[in-house]
Amino acid sequence: MASARDNALVSNVTYGDDAEIHALLSDLRRNDPVHWTEPDGFRPFWAITKYADILEIERLNDRFLNEPRSVLMSKEAEHNLAAMWGGPDPKTGRVSPLRTLIDMDGTDHRAYRGLTQSWFMPANLKKLEPRMAELAKRYVDKMMEMGPECDFTKDIAVYYPLHVIMSIMGVPESDEPRMLKLTQELFGGGDPDMRRSEREGDSNVIADFFAYFNKMTEERRAHPGEDLATVIANGKVQGCPLGPVETASYYIIVATAGHDTTSSSIAGGLRALIENPEQLRMLQRNPELLGTAVDEIIRWVTPVQHFMRTATEDYVLRGRKIDKGQSVMLIYLSGNRDEEIWPDPFKFDITRENNRHAAFGYGAHVCLGQHLAKMEIRAFFKELLGRLDAIEMTGPAKRVQSSFVSGLKTLPVRYKLRAA
């Protein structure tokens, strides 16, 4: 029978409670940082909770692969995915044809990543700075119009990064609510407020994404444009066009991760500033601190809380033998609170230097959109804090109940803003 700790470590409910998840992870870091985990209803794995160990495994991307188990899922979820897409199924071992960048390794990963990598490099993103500033103003203006109260997460934070990435991809603004809903259902499927309701029938979230993006692929191949969708639709790997599954999978990872994690950072960052008013005042007086403040916000929130890897050979970590074929869960949320790396890690400190957090991953699989995310967060807070006279929470903030990607689903606030 599984221990209560192991069951808590895989429970979406645990990740919806800041105090509970951080208490659990702190205990593991102190007492069992490489922890063999056998929860009910899940295939067993090693929970890796120390920053140095996470980076060590990330560096060994030939010994620890993303396929076939890139994220934590219950046996039931794996089996259901297999029934629809062909795997990975714990009963049959079949591997899913749904392959995003997070499911790829080696030459495949390098080739597919290379299709869009130049789009997300600082030199190319620099041309977006004026547009980013314009959009930040647009959403702070919206916040002012809605004032003096709003739910910052639902009304502002989810829409600003969504509009940025959809503009880059070429998705019409009229379709943005649909993309937001599908993303929330995909990442928040374990949360009762986010999951797809039964009245919507048997329609599958991933299938709905595929239907939308397959149509977009046809349009961009027939009528190429200047957007990122055109790059993906007409991309080639080893001289061959991407197949329909690979193309749609590529769209999905860009369209979802490209906004959800950034909105979580913006909402979580504002909450941290409200709860640490001396940090808020310091940042308003010293806007040049925005650079270090953004990294601290991302460390503090860590929207992507884990990824999984599977060992291709036996490996010893902190004296524990990880057998070939066993999986490890790299818990970034824990690594970013590691007491050996950050002095006073549970203090929110916008002046923290050399903040080499693990929120974007590390090595070959480091987040493709990290520079875009930091640019968006910086632009938004530059606009907001320059016009903000006062802000407070009017009720409790609530986290999404999800072990994979999480952040605030509500942040009710009252505020006073100045006109631009």
Number of domains in the chain: 1
- Overall average pLDDT of the 387-392 stretch: 98
Q: For residue range 45-104, what is the model confidence (pLDDT) as tens digits?
A: 999 999 999 999 999 999 999 988 999 999 988 877 766 655 444 444 444 456 788 888
Q: For residue range 195-252, what is the model confidence (pLDDT) as tens digits?
A: 766 544 445 777 888 888 889 899 999 999 988 999 999 988 888 888 888 888 888 8
Distance CA 178, CA 199 (A): 17
What's the domain range around 314? 4-417
At residue 276, the pLDDT reads 98
Model confidence, pTM: 0.92
Q: What is the CATH number of the domain that holds 118?
A: 1.10.630.10
| 339 Cβ contact partners less than 8 Å away, ≥ 6 residues apart | 29, 345
What b/e sequence results for 47-61 when a residue is b if at least 16 CB atoms lie within 10 Å of its CB, and e otherwise?
bbbbbebbbbbbebb
Residue 347 has pLDDT above 90, yes or no: yes
At residue 199, the pLDDT reads 46
Between 82-91, 152-161, 411-420, the lowest mean confidence (pLDDT) is in: 82-91
